[in-house]
Amino acid sequence: MRARSWSDLSRWQRAGILTLGSVELALTAAAAVDLWSRPRTEVNGVKARWWPVLLIQPVGPVVYLLRGRRHPHRALVT
């Protein structure tokens, strides 16, 4: 059984791959820019340990954006 090539995929399959790939790239870029520019006091844990997490696709950038950042000015909900 041979692997499918790009030309073997339907129009919708190619569109889906390109869309999901774009979302993954955008999330990774946003997380990397945020990690680079955020002071270490506003990062949960050590910044150097978050860089490899960003490479775990597709969940790494999402995990960082949800759990890796501290929000010191966020009001507590009561």
Taking 90 as the threshold, does the pLDDT of residue 3 lie above it?
A: no
Q: How many residues does the chain have?
A: 78
First and final C-alpha spacing in the chain: 59
Is pLDDT above 70 for 72? Answer: no
Write down the mean pLDDT value for the chain. Answer: 91
What's the pLDDT tens digit per position in 42-59? Answer: 999 999 999 999 999 999
24-35 average pLDDT score: 96
Q: Please work out, in degrees rounded to the nearest 5, the angle formed at the alpha carbon of residue 24 by the alpha carbons of 38 and 54.
A: 45
Instruction: Name which of 26, 22, 10, 38 is nearest 62 in CA terms.
Output: 26
pLDDT digit string, tens, across residues 16-27: 999 999 999 999
pLDDT at 73: 65
